[in-house]
Amino acid sequence: MNAVVEEHHDDHHDHGPAKGITRWLYTTNHKDIGTLYLWFSFAMFFVGGICALGIRAELFQPGLQIVQPELFNQLTTMHGLIMVFGAVMPAFVGLANWLVPMMIGAPDMALPRMNNYSFWILPFAFGMLISTFFMEGGAPNYGWTFYAPLSTEYAPPSVTFFIFAVHLMGISSIMGSINVIVTILNMRAPGMTLMQMPLFVWTWLITAYLLIAVMPVLAGVVTMMLMDIHFGTAFFSAAGGGDPVLFQHVFWFFGHPEVYIMILPAFGVVSAIIPTFARKKLFGYDSMVYATASIAFLSFIVWAHHMFTVGIPLAGELYFMYATMVIAVPTGVKVFNWVATMWQGSMTFETPMLFAIAFVILFTIGGFSGLMLSIVPADFQYHDTYFVVAHFHYVLVPGSIFSIMAAVYYWLPKWTGNMYDETLGKTHFWLSFIGVNVTFFPQHFIGLAGMPRRIPDYALQFADWNMISSCGAFLFGFSQLLFLFIILKCIRGGQKATERVWDGAKGLEWTIPSPAPYHTFSTPPKDMAEAHG
């Protein structure tokens, strides 16, 4: 395989990376762009995390200590926005950039210049978003769901920049997704059929489709806000014949698929890692593909489960409840398949596997609470309490974030050519695992006991659990400094990685040297037996 990569020497393809900063500014190389995305996302994870620590510090005890309510709302909002749009989504795009071409045997992404454009829009967008903290009236303070009219008539002036930041993110995501789809559909190595693609590629194909379908809807809804704010339109004002609830419908038509956008690639990552360390083929490949597609389809028709309390007629409530519950079935299929893959395997527990297993367990717990939320009468009690916060952090933090961490550990040797420090990696895992549970498990309790979300201060009966939760948050947060250290250490050196890195690993990316050469598969690989595990 090595030979395949090197045999072809062509004017356009034997360039190594350029030197200095321009390498990153001008690059069209999918690996460089992947790296840019991943570092950007990591930085945003820290910024969003610092907001979260601000929140948790304030909630450590009842009473207002550290931040006043206005700032608290800004922190909550920016935390949600930055984590969702700045940390998780770019991280997955980064992984897609690094991995999709290598997994399907393509020389690069289909539209390399546009690929760079998609990335470089993001620092501008988030620069503008974060700068709102310093504007008159402060940063967005209406929650990451920015319900009108709090986000229109009653918003600080920075809302205009927030809207344009969202537009930029949308443009970036749409172009990024077009690139992914086109790469997958058009650039697979000869002989690789769709049903031979690694699951990570499948999940990204479907995710990209979701993104192209819903990001424009988000752009639409923020545009409506813009018009209501500056041009006197009445989309979200009953006085003019509009309806604030219209905002929520349009937002959640985007918002619900959005949460699956943040989990489907994670499913792909886990479906790559578990078979490797169980040394056993993934159980039920076909049903995994169909389950992913069903989840994506269902995600378009369940949006109003976020709005059970807004006064939807009975028939609507019932429909959205049933449709939402159905999602448990394909998701269950995935969980069972992973368990069946582990069953009677020959498992070892390196750091990526630890994160992957924790993903399966903790994501499932988050799924269970999601299912509880979908039961309308019960949701009346859960809605807008910390029970919801617990639910979505279980699916997002030990879900999406853990899967990203698992992916980083898994492919880091391929990226850098060096093995990471396994002892430190395991330490990082255990600290994170404990931290996450200590942070978010008690939030189920405070939620059920009646603590609303998005409040800077609370009644005394919620005090214990909040204190525990805050301790966990700091433990989890600071453990991530260790993660940063491990990555830097691995980049700088360490035991040299072999081509295959993990003895059970399957897939084209393991047939090329570590670190992966700057250009791979300039001519396509021939041996498709390697293609999927």
Partner 1 sequence: MSTEETYQEYYVPHSSKLPIFASLGIFLTVYGLGNMFNEMSAGSDSSFGEIVFFLGGLVMGGTLFFWFSEVIKENHSNLYSDQLNRSFVWGMSWFIFSEVMFFAAFFGALFYVRAFVVDWIGGVGERGPSDMLWQDYEPVWPMMSPPDAEKFPGPSELISPWGLPLVNTLLLVTSSFTVTFAHHGINEGNRKKLVNWLIATISLGIIFLFVQAYEYYHAYVDLGLTLASGIYGTTFFMLTGFHGAHVTLGTFMLIVMLFRSRKGHFSKTDCFGFEAAAWYWHFVDVVWLGLFVFVYVLGS
Partner 2 sequence: MRYWLIDCYTPHLKIVKLGLKTKASMLFNNVIVLSLNGVSQMNNLKQLRHYLLLPMLLFCQTASADFSFWNLRKGVTEISREVYDLHMLIFYICCVIGVIVFGAMIVSMILHRKSLGVKPATFHESTKLEVAWTIIPIVILIGMAVPATSTLRDMYEPGEPDLDVEVRGYQWKWQYTYLNDDPAKEIQFISALRTPQDEIQNRAGKGEHYLLDVDNPLVVPINKRIRFLITSNDVIHSFWVPDFAVKKDAIPGFVHESWAIVEEPGVYRGQCAELCGKDHGFMPIVVHAMEQEDYDNWVLEKQEEAAKVFEIVGKSWSTDELIEKGEEVYARNCVACHQTNGQGIPPAFPSLVGQGIPVGPIAEHIDILLYGRAGTAMQAFGQQLNAAEIAAVVTYTRNAWGNNMQDSVQPKEINVMMASQ
- Which are the catalytic amino acids? 79, 108, 144, 172-173, 256, 258, 260, 271, 305-306, 331, 334, 453
Residue 319 to residue 298: CA distance in whole angstroms: 12
Residue that is written with structure tokens 């990335």 in the block: 119
Site for partner 1 in 30-59 (CB under 8 A): none
**Site size for partner 1 (CB under 8 A):** 86
Residues pairing with 496 in the sheet: 418
Pair 262, 89: CB distance under 8 Å: yes
Site for Cu ion in 248-267 (CB under 5 A): 256
Nearest CA to 21 out of 37, 36, 11, 31 is that of 36
Which residue, 13 or 249, has its beta carbon nearer to ligand HEA? 249
Nearest CA to 451 out of 386, 519, 379 is that of 386
For residue 320, CA distances in Å to 19, 159, 244, 323 come to 54, 31, 20, 5
Instruction: Give least dist CB 131 to ligand HEA, A.
Output: 19
241 φψ region: left (φ > 0), alpha (ψ -120 to 50), beta (else): left
Stretch that binds partner 1, among 40-48, 72-80, 311-319, 456-464 (CB under 8 A): 311-319
- Choose the one of ligand HEA, Cu ion, partner 1, none that binds residue 190, judging by a C-beta under 5 to 8 angstroms depending on kind: partner 1
Of 105, 176, 265, 477, which one interacts with ligand HEA (CB under 6 A)? 477
Site for ligand HEA in 312-331 (CB under 6 A): 324, 327-328, 331
Which residue, 210 or 291, has its beta carbon nearer to partner 1? 210
Residue 527 sits at φ, ψ, to 5 deg, of -90, 95
Of 249, 454, 489, 500, which one interacts with ligand HEA (CB under 6 A)? 454
By the rule CB under 5 A, 391 interacts with Cu ion: no
By the rule CB under 8 A, 381 interacts with partner 2: yes
Pair 265, 207: CB distance under 8 Å: yes
Instruction: Give least dist CB 520 to partner 1, A.
Output: 11
Exposure string for 374-394, b = 16+ CB within 10 A, e = fewer: bbbeebeebbebbbbbbbbbb
- Choose the one of partner 2, ligand HEA, partner 1, none that binds residue 477, judging by a C-beta under 5 to 8 angstroms depending on kind: ligand HEA
Nearest CA to 209 out of 191, 189, 184, 232 is that of 184
- Choose the one of partner 2, partner 1, Cu ion, none that binds residue 195, judging by a C-beta under 5 to 8 angstroms depending on kind: none
Q: Could you tell me the two tokens for 6?
A: 């090197």
- Choose the one of ligand HEA, partner 2, partner 1, none that binds residue 57, judging by a C-beta under 5 to 8 angstroms depending on kind: none
Of 144, 147, 164, 445, which one interacts with partner 1 (CB under 8 A)? 164
Handedness of CA 210, 211, 217, 221 (dihedral sign): positive
Of 90, 101, 398, 399, which one interacts with ligand HEA (CB under 6 A)? 399
Of 117, 120, 147, 209, which one interacts with partner 2 (CB under 8 A)? 147
Instruction: Give least dist CB 467 to partner 1, A.
Output: 41
Stretch that binds ligand HEA, among 123-131, 178-186, 211-219, 257-265 (CB under 6 A): 257-265
Residue 403 to residue 405: CA distance in whole angstroms: 5
Which residue, 140 or 507, has its beta carbon nearer to ligand HEA? 140
Of 100, 166, 210, 321, which one interacts with partner 2 (CB under 8 A)? 321
Pair 26, 15: CB distance under 8 Å: no
Of 1, 130, 171, 310, which one interacts with partner 2 (CB under 8 A)? 310
Site for ligand HEA in 341-380 (CB under 6 A): 364, 367-368, 370-371, 373-374, 379
Instruction: Give least dist CB 238 to partner 1, A.
Output: 6
Handedness of CA 450, 456, 461, 463 (dihedral sign): positive
- Choose the one of ligand HEA, partner 2, partner 1, none that binds residue 392, judging by a C-beta under 5 to 8 angstroms depending on kind: ligand HEA
Pair 329, 384: CB distance under 8 Å: no
Helix (H) or strand (E) holding 66: none
Site for partner 2 in 219-248 (CB under 8 A): 237-239, 243-245
Task: Note the helical H segments in 231-282.
Answer: 244-261, 264-278
Q: Could you tell me the two tokens for 407?
A: 């992916």
Instruction: Give least dist CB 394 to Cu ion, A.
Output: 14
Helix (H) or strand (E) holding 194: none
Q: What is the per-residue binding string for partner 1 in 314-343, x denoting contact by CB under 8 A?
A: x-----------------------------
Residue 261 contacts by C-beta under 8 Å, 6 or more apart in sequence?
A: 89, 207, 210, 211, 214
- Choose the one of Cu ion, ligand HEA, partner 1, none that binds residue 84, judging by a C-beta under 5 to 8 angstroms depending on kind: ligand HEA
Residues pairing with 452 in the sheet: 385
By the rule CB under 6 A, 437 interacts with ligand HEA: no
Give me the residues that bind Cu ion (CB under 5 A), please: 256
